[in-house]
Amino acid sequence: MKYKLTIIVPVYNEEDNLERVETELSSYLKIATVPASILFVNDGSSDGSQALIEAICDRNEAFEFVLFKENRGLSAAIKAGFDHADTELVGYIDADLQTAPEDFNKLLEHIDNFELVTGVRADRKDSFVKNMSSKIANGIRRAFTKDGMDDTGCPLKIIRADYAKRIPMFRGLHRFLPAMIMLQNGRVTQIPVRHFPRIAGTAKFGLWNRLLGPLMDCFAYLWMKKKYINYDVAKSSK
Question: How high is the pLDDT of residue 139?
Answer: 63
Question: How high is the pLDDT of residue 130?
Answer: 61
For residue 88, what is the domain's CATH number?
A: 3.90.550.10
Residue 232 falls inside a structural domain: no
Residue 11 falls inside a structural domain: yes
Residue 234 falls inside a structural domain: no
Question: How high is the pLDDT of residue 107?
Answer: 97
Question: How high is the pLDDT of residue 173?
Answer: 76
Residue 235 falls inside a structural domain: no
Question: How high is the pLDDT of residue 195?
Answer: 79
Question: How high is the pLDDT of residue 72?
Answer: 93
Could you tell me the residue range of the domain that residue 144 belongs to?
5-227
User: Which mean pLDDT values do the consecutive 10-residue runs of the chain (238 residues) have?
Assistant: 94 95 98 98 97 98 97 93 97 93 97 96 62 63 67 88 90 83 93 78 55 69 76 80
Predicted model pTM = 0.82
Sheet holding 5-11, edge to edge: 63-67, 36-42, 5-11, 89-93, 156-160, 116-121, 188-193
Question: How high is the pLDDT of residue 216?
Answer: 72
Residue 195 falls inside a structural domain: yes
Question: How high is the pLDDT of residue 39?
Answer: 98
Assign 3-class secondary structure to the chain: CCCCEEEEEEECCCCCCHHHHHHHHHHHHHHCCCCEEEEEEECCCCCCHHHHHHHHHHHCCCEEEEECCCCCCHHHHHHHHHHHCCCCEEEEECCCCCCCHHHHHHHHCCHHHCCEEEEEECCCCCCHHHHHHHHHHHHHHHHHHCCCCCCCCCCEEEEEHHHHCCCCCCCCHHHHHHHHHHHCCCCEEEEEECCCCCCCCCCCCCHHHHHHHHHHHHHHHHHHHHHCCCCCCCCCCC
Number of domains in the chain: 1
Residue 59 falls inside a structural domain: yes
